[in-house]
Amino acid sequence: MKIQRSFAICSSSLLLSFFLLLNCVLAQAQSKNASKYACLEASPAALCNASITCGSASTPCTVDVKRTASSAEAVASIAKPKGNATFCVNAGTTLTWQSASKNTGFVVDFGPSDPFAQGGTIIGGSDRSVSVVAKKPGCYKYSAGACVSGAIYGMCGNANAEVIVVGGGN
């Protein structure tokens, strides 16, 4: 009798542990798929459509870099703007990096490879916008940092985002 009860408890515990493990594995697989980066896709340019394409050959793409409560946001002038959302531009489009927030400075860094063929970090602020022309097609990850002058604690924040440059370069 004791052996049967022990066996039932052990097998139930083992079965419960198996289902919990399976549930965790499935949840982790779903979260990995949901957090994919556009630049990891086989063809990132295929993700581009009119709603996430910013600017044109005659109209600059404006990207507002601002400090939020917990980090920074780069918001492109697209149809439904969201902070740090991936956006697309056509090669030859001017990107104007700015901060509409008062007393805010920003830094945008593309690392060793940038779509502007300028090589270097973009540094500006609420009193100084910076315009660059997208030249090299591809998908680029960048970090954006924003700092508010005069604040003492937690005055700076940063975030990561992506931009896809579509078309032939100049």
The rounded mean pLDDT for the chain is 81
User: Could you tell me the two tokens for 98?
Assistant: 């700015």
Residue 73 has a CB neighbour count (10 Å cut-off) of 19
Q: Per residue in 85-120, pLDDT tens?
A: 999 999 999 999 999 999 999 999 999 888 998 778
Question: Which H/E stretch holds residue 16?
Answer: helix 2-34
pLDDT tens string for the chain (170 positions)?
A: 666 555 445 444 433 333 333 343 333 433 343 346 899 999 999 999 999 999 998 999 999 999 998 899 999 999 999 999 999 999 999 999 999 999 999 999 999 888 998 778 999 999 999 999 999 999 999 999 999 987 677 689 999 999 999 986 44
Domain limits, the chain: 2-35, 39-166
C-alpha pair distances (Å), 100 with each of 1, 42, 63, 65: 76, 35, 10, 8
pTM assigned to the model: 0.75
Q: What kind and span of H or E run contains 87?
A: strand 87-90
Residue with tokens 């700076």: 156
> In the CATH scheme, what is the code of domain 39-166?
2.60.40
- What are the pLDDT digits (tens) for 156-170? 999 999 999 998 644
Name the DSSP letter for residue 56. -
